[in-house]
Amino acid sequence: MIDLETAQPLGIIVNGATGRMGYRQHLVRSLLAIRDSGGVPLPDGSRRPIELYLVGRSPEKLKEVAETHGIDRWTTDLDEALNADGFAVYFDALITQLRVPAIRKAIAAGKHIYTEKPTAESYTEALALAEEAEAAGIHNGVVHDKLYLPGLLKLRRLIDSGFFGEILSVRGEFGYWVFEGDWQPAQRPSWNYRTEDGGGIVVDMFPHWNYVIENLFGSISTVYTTTRTHIPTRVDEAGQTYTATADDAAYGIFELENGPIVQLNSSWTTRVNRDELVEFHVDGTMGSAVVGLFSAKIQERNATPKPVWNPDIPDPLDYSATWSPIPQNEPAENGFKLQWIEFLRSVLGVGEHRYDFRSGAAGMLLAEAALASQEQGRKVSIAEHAKSLTRSPR
Protein backbone atom coordinates (compact mmCIF):
# COMPACT_ATOMS: atom_id res chain seq x y z
CA MET A 1 0.00 0.00 0.00
CA ILE A 2 1.23 3.50 -0.87
CA ASP A 3 1.25 6.28 1.73
CA LEU A 4 -1.76 8.51 1.08
CA GLU A 5 -0.47 11.30 3.29
CA THR A 6 2.39 12.26 1.01
CA ALA A 7 1.79 14.69 -1.85
CA GLN A 8 4.29 12.83 -4.01
CA PRO A 9 2.74 11.65 -7.28
CA LEU A 10 2.18 7.95 -7.78
CA GLY A 11 4.78 6.91 -10.35
CA ILE A 12 3.77 4.55 -13.17
CA ILE A 13 6.17 2.90 -15.63
CA VAL A 14 4.49 2.32 -19.00
CA ASN A 15 6.34 -0.33 -21.02
CA GLY A 16 5.22 -0.51 -24.65
CA ALA A 17 4.06 3.11 -24.56
CA THR A 18 4.32 3.64 -28.33
CA GLY A 19 2.50 0.47 -29.40
CA ARG A 20 -1.06 0.42 -30.73
CA MET A 21 -2.81 -0.52 -27.47
CA GLY A 22 -0.21 0.94 -25.14
CA TYR A 23 -0.45 4.37 -26.72
CA ARG A 24 -4.09 4.76 -27.72
CA GLN A 25 -6.04 3.05 -24.97
CA HIS A 26 -3.70 3.00 -22.00
CA LEU A 27 -1.59 6.14 -22.35
CA VAL A 28 -3.84 8.67 -24.09
CA ARG A 29 -7.35 7.56 -23.14
CA SER A 30 -6.58 6.29 -19.65
CA LEU A 31 -3.43 7.49 -17.90
CA LEU A 32 -3.17 10.92 -19.50
CA ALA A 33 -6.89 11.44 -18.95
CA ILE A 34 -6.40 10.56 -15.27
CA ARG A 35 -3.31 12.78 -15.00
CA ASP A 36 -4.98 15.75 -16.70
CA SER A 37 -8.04 15.50 -14.44
CA GLY A 38 -5.81 15.92 -11.37
CA GLY A 39 -4.99 12.31 -10.63
CA VAL A 40 -6.65 9.16 -9.31
CA PRO A 41 -10.04 10.00 -7.76
CA LEU A 42 -10.22 8.85 -4.13
CA PRO A 43 -13.27 8.05 -1.96
CA ASP A 44 -12.85 11.22 0.11
CA GLY A 45 -13.17 13.40 -3.00
CA SER A 46 -9.47 14.18 -3.32
CA ARG A 47 -7.17 13.07 -6.12
CA ARG A 48 -3.73 11.50 -6.06
CA PRO A 49 -1.50 12.91 -8.84
CA ILE A 50 0.35 10.47 -11.09
CA GLU A 51 3.68 10.69 -12.90
CA LEU A 52 4.53 8.63 -15.98
CA TYR A 53 7.78 7.04 -17.13
CA LEU A 54 7.66 5.78 -20.72
CA VAL A 55 9.61 2.72 -21.89
CA GLY A 56 9.90 1.45 -25.46
CA ARG A 57 12.27 0.35 -28.19
CA SER A 58 12.45 3.48 -30.36
CA PRO A 59 14.01 6.60 -28.83
CA GLU A 60 12.61 8.71 -31.67
CA LYS A 61 9.03 7.57 -31.04
CA LEU A 62 9.39 7.84 -27.27
CA LYS A 63 10.76 11.38 -27.50
CA GLU A 64 7.93 12.42 -29.82
CA VAL A 65 5.24 10.97 -27.55
CA ALA A 66 6.83 12.45 -24.42
CA GLU A 67 7.11 15.93 -25.95
CA THR A 68 3.58 15.80 -27.37
CA HIS A 69 2.04 14.95 -24.01
CA GLY A 70 4.30 16.77 -21.58
CA ILE A 71 5.98 13.70 -20.08
CA ASP A 72 9.44 14.32 -18.64
CA ARG A 73 10.86 10.81 -18.36
CA TRP A 74 11.37 8.12 -20.98
CA THR A 75 13.96 5.45 -21.76
CA THR A 76 14.69 2.41 -23.90
CA ASP A 77 16.27 0.70 -20.88
CA LEU A 78 13.70 -1.12 -18.71
CA ASP A 79 16.21 -1.66 -15.90
CA GLU A 80 16.78 2.08 -15.70
CA ALA A 81 13.06 2.70 -15.24
CA LEU A 82 12.64 -0.09 -12.69
CA ASN A 83 15.50 1.34 -10.61
CA ALA A 84 14.07 4.87 -10.62
CA ASP A 85 12.82 6.24 -7.31
CA GLY A 86 9.13 7.00 -6.89
CA PHE A 87 7.73 4.65 -9.54
CA ALA A 88 5.86 1.96 -7.65
CA VAL A 89 3.67 0.67 -10.50
CA TYR A 90 4.74 -1.18 -13.64
CA PHE A 91 2.43 -1.59 -16.65
CA ASP A 92 3.15 -3.97 -19.52
CA ALA A 93 1.76 -3.51 -23.05
CA LEU A 94 4.49 -5.45 -24.87
CA ILE A 95 3.87 -8.25 -27.34
CA THR A 96 3.20 -11.49 -25.49
CA GLN A 97 6.61 -13.04 -26.26
CA LEU A 98 8.40 -10.25 -24.37
CA ARG A 99 5.96 -9.99 -21.46
CA VAL A 100 7.07 -12.73 -19.05
CA PRO A 101 10.74 -11.69 -18.67
CA ALA A 102 9.73 -8.04 -18.28
CA ILE A 103 7.12 -8.84 -15.63
CA ARG A 104 9.58 -11.04 -13.76
CA LYS A 105 12.00 -8.11 -13.67
CA ALA A 106 9.23 -5.93 -12.27
CA ILE A 107 8.36 -8.54 -9.62
CA ALA A 108 12.02 -8.69 -8.59
CA ALA A 109 12.03 -4.90 -8.33
CA GLY A 110 9.02 -5.01 -5.99
CA LYS A 111 6.68 -3.15 -8.32
CA HIS A 112 2.92 -3.44 -8.31
CA ILE A 113 2.05 -4.80 -11.76
CA TYR A 114 -0.80 -4.24 -14.17
CA THR A 115 -0.61 -5.88 -17.59
CA GLU A 116 -2.33 -6.45 -20.87
CA LYS A 117 -3.44 -9.98 -21.62
CA PRO A 118 -2.49 -12.70 -22.21
CA THR A 119 -0.08 -12.65 -19.30
CA ALA A 120 2.08 -15.40 -20.85
CA GLU A 121 2.29 -17.70 -23.86
CA SER A 122 1.17 -20.74 -21.86
CA TYR A 123 -1.15 -21.53 -18.98
CA THR A 124 1.71 -23.09 -16.98
CA GLU A 125 3.80 -19.94 -17.24
CA ALA A 126 0.82 -17.66 -16.55
CA LEU A 127 0.04 -19.61 -13.37
CA ALA A 128 3.70 -19.47 -12.34
CA LEU A 129 3.65 -15.67 -12.73
CA ALA A 130 0.57 -15.47 -10.53
CA GLU A 131 2.26 -17.53 -7.82
CA GLU A 132 5.46 -15.44 -8.03
CA ALA A 133 3.50 -12.19 -7.74
CA GLU A 134 1.55 -13.50 -4.73
CA ALA A 135 4.75 -14.67 -3.05
CA ALA A 136 6.20 -11.17 -3.54
CA GLY A 137 3.14 -9.60 -1.91
CA ILE A 138 2.54 -7.15 -4.73
CA HIS A 139 -0.72 -5.94 -6.21
CA ASN A 140 -1.17 -7.58 -9.60
CA GLY A 141 -3.85 -7.07 -12.21
CA VAL A 142 -4.77 -7.98 -15.77
CA VAL A 143 -6.75 -5.86 -18.22
CA HIS A 144 -10.43 -6.92 -18.33
CA ASP A 145 -11.61 -3.86 -20.21
CA LYS A 146 -14.77 -5.26 -21.80
CA LEU A 147 -16.45 -5.73 -18.42
CA TYR A 148 -16.25 -1.96 -17.91
CA LEU A 149 -17.88 -1.00 -21.21
CA PRO A 150 -21.37 0.62 -21.16
CA GLY A 151 -23.10 -2.26 -22.97
CA LEU A 152 -21.75 -4.96 -20.68
CA LEU A 153 -22.44 -2.84 -17.60
CA LYS A 154 -26.07 -2.70 -18.74
CA LEU A 155 -26.00 -6.47 -19.21
CA ARG A 156 -24.60 -6.89 -15.71
CA ARG A 157 -27.52 -4.87 -14.30
CA LEU A 158 -30.03 -6.95 -16.25
CA ILE A 159 -28.55 -10.16 -14.86
CA ASP A 160 -28.38 -8.85 -11.31
CA SER A 161 -32.01 -7.67 -11.46
CA GLY A 162 -33.25 -11.12 -12.49
CA PHE A 163 -34.56 -9.79 -15.81
CA PHE A 164 -33.73 -12.96 -17.75
CA GLY A 165 -35.21 -15.46 -15.34
CA GLU A 166 -33.19 -18.60 -16.07
CA ILE A 167 -30.50 -17.86 -18.66
CA LEU A 168 -30.64 -20.54 -21.34
CA SER A 169 -28.05 -19.57 -23.92
CA VAL A 170 -25.69 -16.88 -25.15
CA ARG A 171 -24.66 -16.29 -28.77
CA GLY A 172 -21.79 -13.95 -29.50
CA GLU A 173 -20.41 -12.53 -32.73
CA PHE A 174 -17.11 -10.70 -32.78
CA GLY A 175 -14.91 -9.51 -35.60
CA TYR A 176 -14.41 -7.55 -38.78
CA TRP A 177 -12.43 -7.74 -42.00
CA VAL A 178 -8.73 -7.12 -41.41
CA PHE A 179 -7.27 -6.07 -44.74
CA GLU A 180 -4.68 -8.40 -46.20
CA GLY A 181 -2.13 -5.60 -46.57
CA ASP A 182 -1.80 -5.63 -50.35
CA TRP A 183 -4.34 -3.19 -51.75
CA GLN A 184 -5.01 -1.55 -48.37
CA PRO A 185 -2.78 -1.51 -45.28
CA ALA A 186 -3.83 -3.96 -42.57
CA GLN A 187 -5.30 -2.40 -39.43
CA ARG A 188 -3.66 -4.99 -37.16
CA PRO A 189 0.07 -5.77 -36.79
CA SER A 190 1.41 -8.60 -38.97
CA TRP A 191 2.67 -10.59 -35.96
CA ASN A 192 -0.99 -11.25 -35.08
CA TYR A 193 -1.06 -13.73 -37.99
CA ARG A 194 2.11 -15.68 -37.17
CA THR A 195 1.94 -18.41 -34.55
CA GLU A 196 5.71 -18.27 -34.07
CA ASP A 197 5.38 -14.63 -32.97
CA GLY A 198 2.54 -15.30 -30.52
CA GLY A 199 -0.27 -14.48 -32.94
CA GLY A 200 -3.70 -16.02 -33.45
CA ILE A 201 -7.26 -15.03 -32.70
CA VAL A 202 -7.65 -17.77 -30.06
CA VAL A 203 -4.79 -16.55 -27.86
CA ASP A 204 -5.89 -12.96 -28.45
CA MET A 205 -9.64 -13.22 -27.91
CA PHE A 206 -10.33 -16.30 -25.80
CA PRO A 207 -8.77 -14.75 -22.68
CA HIS A 208 -11.35 -11.97 -23.19
CA TRP A 209 -14.18 -14.44 -23.65
CA ASN A 210 -13.07 -16.28 -20.52
CA TYR A 211 -13.50 -13.30 -18.22
CA VAL A 212 -16.68 -12.12 -19.94
CA ILE A 213 -18.32 -15.54 -19.61
CA GLU A 214 -16.99 -16.29 -16.11
CA ASN A 215 -17.98 -12.93 -14.65
CA LEU A 216 -21.38 -12.60 -16.31
CA PHE A 217 -22.78 -16.06 -16.92
CA GLY A 218 -20.88 -18.71 -14.92
CA SER A 219 -17.89 -21.03 -14.81
CA ILE A 220 -16.88 -22.78 -18.02
CA SER A 221 -16.75 -26.57 -17.79
CA THR A 222 -15.99 -27.61 -21.39
CA VAL A 223 -15.00 -26.00 -24.68
CA TYR A 224 -15.32 -27.21 -28.25
CA THR A 225 -13.60 -25.08 -30.88
CA THR A 226 -12.89 -25.20 -34.58
CA THR A 227 -10.30 -22.76 -35.93
CA ARG A 228 -9.25 -21.73 -39.42
CA THR A 229 -6.59 -19.71 -41.16
CA HIS A 230 -8.92 -18.42 -43.87
CA ILE A 231 -6.39 -15.99 -45.41
CA PRO A 232 -3.17 -17.99 -45.99
CA THR A 233 -0.91 -15.14 -47.12
CA ARG A 234 -0.77 -11.50 -46.06
CA VAL A 235 1.48 -8.48 -46.61
CA ASP A 236 3.40 -6.98 -43.67
CA GLU A 237 4.26 -3.42 -42.70
CA ALA A 238 7.30 -3.42 -45.00
CA GLY A 239 5.26 -4.55 -47.99
CA GLN A 240 6.60 -8.11 -47.87
CA THR A 241 4.31 -11.07 -48.47
CA TYR A 242 4.36 -13.62 -45.65
CA THR A 243 2.64 -16.88 -44.78
CA ALA A 244 -0.10 -16.55 -42.18
CA THR A 245 0.52 -19.42 -39.78
CA ALA A 246 -1.92 -18.38 -37.04
CA ASP A 247 -5.68 -18.86 -36.87
CA ASP A 248 -7.69 -15.84 -38.04
CA ALA A 249 -11.10 -17.27 -37.09
CA ALA A 250 -12.41 -19.47 -34.27
CA TYR A 251 -15.84 -20.94 -33.74
CA GLY A 252 -16.44 -22.00 -30.13
CA ILE A 253 -19.09 -23.67 -28.00
CA PHE A 254 -18.75 -23.42 -24.21
CA GLU A 255 -20.73 -25.46 -21.68
CA LEU A 256 -21.18 -23.74 -18.33
CA GLU A 257 -21.31 -25.56 -15.00
CA ASN A 258 -24.68 -23.98 -14.15
CA GLY A 259 -26.32 -25.03 -17.43
CA PRO A 260 -26.28 -22.32 -20.13
CA ILE A 261 -24.62 -22.89 -23.50
CA VAL A 262 -22.45 -20.12 -24.97
CA GLN A 263 -21.61 -19.97 -28.67
CA LEU A 264 -18.99 -17.47 -29.80
CA ASN A 265 -17.67 -16.76 -33.27
CA SER A 266 -14.44 -14.74 -33.47
CA SER A 267 -13.14 -13.68 -36.87
CA TRP A 268 -10.82 -11.25 -38.58
CA THR A 269 -12.24 -12.45 -41.90
CA THR A 270 -15.87 -11.37 -41.64
CA ARG A 271 -17.66 -8.30 -42.95
CA VAL A 272 -19.82 -6.60 -40.36
CA ASN A 273 -23.61 -6.65 -40.60
CA ARG A 274 -24.55 -5.86 -37.02
CA ASP A 275 -24.76 -2.69 -34.95
CA GLU A 276 -21.37 -3.14 -33.26
CA LEU A 277 -18.15 -5.09 -33.76
CA VAL A 278 -19.17 -7.43 -30.96
CA GLU A 279 -22.69 -8.43 -29.96
CA PHE A 280 -24.05 -10.89 -27.40
CA HIS A 281 -27.57 -12.28 -27.71
CA VAL A 282 -28.75 -13.60 -24.35
CA ASP A 283 -31.93 -15.67 -24.12
CA GLY A 284 -33.72 -16.38 -20.84
CA THR A 285 -37.07 -17.75 -19.76
CA MET A 286 -38.40 -14.29 -18.86
CA GLY A 287 -36.65 -12.12 -21.43
CA SER A 288 -33.83 -11.66 -23.92
CA ALA A 289 -31.22 -9.00 -24.64
CA VAL A 290 -28.88 -8.06 -27.47
CA VAL A 291 -25.85 -6.23 -26.13
CA GLY A 292 -22.85 -4.58 -27.77
CA LEU A 293 -19.97 -2.56 -26.40
CA PHE A 294 -22.22 0.45 -25.92
CA SER A 295 -25.82 -0.40 -26.80
CA ALA A 296 -28.30 -2.81 -25.29
CA LYS A 297 -31.86 -3.69 -26.22
CA ILE A 298 -34.32 -6.03 -24.55
CA GLN A 299 -37.47 -8.02 -25.26
CA GLU A 300 -39.54 -9.14 -22.29
CA ARG A 301 -41.60 -12.33 -22.17
CA ASN A 302 -44.89 -10.43 -22.31
CA ALA A 303 -43.71 -8.39 -25.31
CA THR A 304 -42.44 -11.34 -27.35
CA PRO A 305 -44.15 -11.62 -30.77
CA LYS A 306 -45.50 -14.94 -32.06
CA PRO A 307 -43.70 -15.81 -35.30
CA VAL A 308 -45.30 -18.36 -37.59
CA TRP A 309 -43.14 -20.16 -40.16
CA ASN A 310 -44.53 -19.58 -43.66
CA PRO A 311 -41.97 -19.55 -46.50
CA ASP A 312 -44.65 -18.76 -49.09
CA ILE A 313 -45.12 -15.10 -48.13
CA PRO A 314 -42.82 -12.32 -46.87
CA ASP A 315 -42.76 -12.25 -43.08
CA PRO A 316 -45.09 -9.44 -41.93
CA LEU A 317 -43.33 -8.96 -38.58
CA ASP A 318 -40.75 -6.20 -38.12
CA TYR A 319 -38.70 -8.02 -35.51
CA SER A 320 -36.29 -5.15 -34.86
CA ALA A 321 -39.19 -2.91 -33.86
CA THR A 322 -40.20 -5.32 -31.08
CA TRP A 323 -37.05 -4.65 -29.06
CA SER A 324 -36.67 -1.78 -26.57
CA PRO A 325 -33.36 0.07 -26.14
CA ILE A 326 -31.91 0.55 -22.68
CA PRO A 327 -31.07 4.23 -22.20
CA GLN A 328 -27.61 5.44 -21.27
CA ASN A 329 -28.56 7.22 -18.05
CA GLU A 330 -25.00 8.04 -17.06
CA PRO A 331 -22.09 9.40 -19.10
CA ALA A 332 -20.13 6.59 -20.78
CA GLU A 333 -16.55 6.41 -19.51
CA ASN A 334 -13.68 4.66 -21.29
CA GLY A 335 -13.55 1.05 -20.03
CA PHE A 336 -9.75 0.96 -19.93
CA LYS A 337 -9.70 4.15 -17.84
CA LEU A 338 -12.28 2.81 -15.37
CA GLN A 339 -10.25 -0.32 -14.74
CA TRP A 340 -7.05 1.70 -14.39
CA ILE A 341 -8.70 3.76 -11.66
CA GLU A 342 -9.83 0.60 -9.88
CA PHE A 343 -6.35 -0.92 -10.00
CA LEU A 344 -4.59 2.25 -8.84
CA ARG A 345 -7.04 2.64 -5.96
CA SER A 346 -6.18 -0.88 -4.85
CA VAL A 347 -2.48 0.02 -4.90
CA LEU A 348 -3.27 3.08 -2.80
CA GLY A 349 -5.20 0.91 -0.33
CA VAL A 350 -8.59 2.55 -0.88
CA GLY A 351 -10.31 -0.05 -3.02
CA GLU A 352 -10.19 -3.55 -4.45
CA HIS A 353 -9.17 -4.68 -7.92
CA ARG A 354 -10.94 -7.92 -8.78
CA TYR A 355 -8.91 -9.28 -11.69
CA ASP A 356 -5.46 -10.54 -10.73
CA PHE A 357 -2.84 -12.71 -12.44
CA ARG A 358 -4.83 -15.87 -11.64
CA SER A 359 -7.65 -14.44 -13.69
CA GLY A 360 -5.13 -13.93 -16.49
CA ALA A 361 -3.99 -17.55 -16.16
CA ALA A 362 -7.61 -18.68 -16.48
CA GLY A 363 -7.75 -16.93 -19.84
CA MET A 364 -4.74 -18.85 -21.09
CA LEU A 365 -6.21 -22.09 -19.76
CA LEU A 366 -9.26 -21.56 -21.94
CA ALA A 367 -7.16 -20.59 -24.98
CA GLU A 368 -5.00 -23.71 -24.67
CA ALA A 369 -8.07 -25.90 -24.22
CA ALA A 370 -9.62 -24.37 -27.34
CA LEU A 371 -6.50 -25.09 -29.39
CA ALA A 372 -6.40 -28.64 -28.01
CA SER A 373 -10.03 -29.04 -29.01
CA GLN A 374 -9.20 -28.02 -32.57
CA GLU A 375 -6.23 -30.37 -32.71
CA GLN A 376 -8.06 -33.35 -31.18
CA GLY A 377 -11.47 -32.79 -32.76
CA ARG A 378 -13.37 -33.05 -29.47
CA LYS A 379 -14.64 -30.98 -26.59
CA VAL A 380 -12.14 -30.44 -23.79
CA SER A 381 -12.92 -30.16 -20.08
CA ILE A 382 -11.26 -27.41 -18.03
CA ALA A 383 -13.33 -27.75 -14.85
CA GLU A 384 -10.65 -29.46 -12.75
CA HIS A 385 -7.86 -27.08 -13.77
CA ALA A 386 -10.08 -24.06 -13.18
CA LYS A 387 -10.44 -24.99 -9.49
CA SER A 388 -6.72 -24.28 -8.99
CA LEU A 389 -7.29 -20.69 -10.14
CA THR A 390 -9.46 -19.66 -7.22
CA ARG A 391 -8.16 -16.33 -6.10
CA SER A 392 -5.77 -16.61 -3.15
CA PRO A 393 -6.09 -14.11 -0.30
CA ARG A 394 -3.21 -11.65 -0.14
Alpha carbon distance 46, 48 (integer Å)? 7
| Same-domain pairing of 164 and 230 | yes
Average pLDDT over residues 170-179: 98
Is the residue at 288 inside a domain?
yes
Q: The domain spanning residue 80 has which CATH number? A: 3.40.50.720
| Same-domain pairing of 196 and 284 | yes
| Same-domain pairing of 92 and 221 | no
Q: Is 175 left (phi over 0), alpha (psi -120 to 50) or beta?
A: left
| Same-domain pairing of 231 and 349 | no
| Same-domain pairing of 301 and 340 | no
Check residue 20 and give its pLDDT: 85
22: containing domain: 10-145+336-355
User: Taking a C-beta distance cutoff of 8 angstroms, is the pair 9, 51 a contact?
Assistant: yes
Alpha carbon distance 295, 269 (integer Å)? 24
Average pLDDT over residues 76-100: 95
| Same-domain pairing of 209 and 297 | yes
Total residue length of the chain:
394
Check residue 7 and give its pLDDT: 64
Is the residue at 227 inside a domain?
yes
pLDDT at 394 over 50: no
* Pick from 48-52, 79-83, 386-390: least confident: 386-390
| Same-domain pairing of 137 and 158 | no
Alpha carbon distance 310, 155 (integer Å)? 33
Average pLDDT, the chain: 94
238-294 pLDDT, tens digit per residue, is: 999 999 999 999 999 999 998 999 999 999 999 999 999 999 999 999 999 999 999
Is the residue at 383 inside a domain?
no
122-164 pLDDT, tens digit per residue, is: 999 999 999 999 999 999 999 999 999 999 999 999 999 999 9
333-374 pLDDT, tens digit per residue, is: 899 999 999 999 999 999 999 999 999 999 999 999 999 999
| Same-domain pairing of 180 and 221 | yes
pLDDT at 57 over 70: yes
Q: The domain spanning residue 320 has which CATH number? A: 3.30.360.10
| Same-domain pairing of 161 and 280 | yes
pTM of the complete model: 0.90
Q: Does the CA dihedral 183-187-189-191 come out positive or negative? A: negative
| Same-domain pairing of 59 and 194 | no
- CA geometry: angle 111, 16, 47, nearest 5 deg: 55
Is the residue at 382 inside a domain?
no
| Same-domain pairing of 124 and 178 | no
* Count of domains observed in the chain: 2
- Three-state helix/strand/coil letters over 21-72: HHHHHHHHHHHHHHHHCCCEECCCCCEECEEEEEECCCHHHHHHHHHHHCCC
Is the residue at 1 inside a domain?
no
User: Taking a C-beta distance cutoff of 8 angstroms, is the pair 262, 172 a contact?
Assistant: yes
Check residue 175 and give its pLDDT: 97
Is the residue at 388 inside a domain?
no
Check residue 176 and give its pLDDT: 98
User: What's the pLDDT band for 332 if we cut at 50, 70, 90?
Assistant: confident
Is the residue at 391 inside a domain?
no
25-52 pLDDT, tens digit per residue, is: 999 999 999 999 999 999 999 999 999 9
Is the residue at 63 inside a domain?
yes
Alpha carbon distance 356, 343 (integer Å)? 10
Q: At residue 282, what are phi and psi to the nearest 5 degrees?
A: -110, 125
| Same-domain pairing of 175 and 304 | yes
